[in-house]
Amino acid sequence: MAITIKAKFKCSSERISQVPKDNLRDIAFIGRSNVGKSSLVNMLTGIKGLAKVSCTPGKTKLINHFIINDSWYLVDLPGYGYARVSKTARGEFSKIITDYVLKCEKMYFLFVLVDSRLEPQKIDLNFIELLGQNGIPFGLIFTKTDKLSQAQLNRSVSTYKKTLAEQWEELPPMFTSSSEKGTGREEILAFIEECINIE
């Protein structure tokens, strides 16, 4: 049976000083623009159009908090990867993203979404490197898996693992998802549940 969750838009922030000040944990989602982040937020919460709040003009550069089951925040971060120019790894990401991800104490766990159809992308690898260097807890979600066969998906995931293993001893938790089919929902929600219950 599908898990029902209660989700409600809480607030949009343009700097980290504006994020909610309570003790609830933030579980955040980020990825390149068009990776399927809004679709995943809607699929996980079971509320079509919830993430649309963040799509209204002018709101796409904001941090959006949704309160889930009155017990944790699902955080929809701005997409990255618009800028063509890249200097340092950090320079590729906007200040609001680096401030939130690297400095915000509420930020408890971050899911980095990657398109399952693509080879590991430089910008995602740079972002992951930034997370690793700063000891930020994160996992990967492969999106749009309905567009691949199981064999293709296995190949994508193992390519990613191989690429990350070149640099890291420990691999992050990985999930595969399709917002179209609803796959990955229970695994991701169960993982979050564990995350928010750790003392």
Ligand X SMILES: Nc1nc2c(ncn2[C@@H]2O[C@H](COP(=O)(O)OP(=O)(O)O)[C@@H](O)[C@H]2O)c(=O)[nH]1
The helix or strand, by DSSP H or E, that contains position 86, with its residue range, turns out to be none
Cβ distance to ligand X smaller for residue 52 or 90: 52
Q: Is 38 in the site for Mg ion (CB under 5 A)?
A: yes
Decide if 188 contacts 44 (C-beta within 8 A): yes
> Closest approach of Cβ 55 to Mg ion, in Å?
6
Distance between alpha carbon 42 and the CA centroid of its chain, in Å? 13
CB of 146 to ligand X, least distance (A): 5
Q: Does residue number 129 form part of the binding site for ligand X (CB under 6 A)?
A: no
From the list Mg ion, ligand X, none, partner contacted by residue 39 (C-beta under 5 to 8 A by kind)? ligand X
| Ranges of H-type helices in the chain | 37-45, 95-103, 122-133, 150-165, 185-197
State the binding partner of 143 from ligand X, Mg ion, none, CB within 5 to 8 A by kind: ligand X
- Sheet of 107-115: strand order equals 7-13, 63-68, 72-76, 25-31, 107-115, 138-143, 174-176
Q: Kindly state the smallest distance separating residue 39's Cβ from ligand X, in Å.
A: 3
Q: Least distance (Å) from Mg ion to the CB of residue 36?
A: 8
Residue ranges in 81-100 that form contacts with ligand X under rule CB under 6 A: none
Q: Which stretch binds ligand X (CB under 6 A): 12-20, 34-42, 157-165, 167-175?
A: 34-42
Q: How far apart are CA 108 and CA 26, in angstroms?
A: 5
For residue 33, the minimal CB distance to Mg ion (Å) is 7
- The total of other beta-carbon atoms located within 10 Å of residue 77's CB is 24
| Closest among 134, 133, 154 to 142, alpha carbons compared | 154
Q: Which of 6, 147, 155, 162 binds ligand X (CB under 6 A)?
A: 147
The residues that touch ligand X, with contacts defined as CB under 6 A, are 31, 33-39, 79, 143-144, 146-147, 178-180
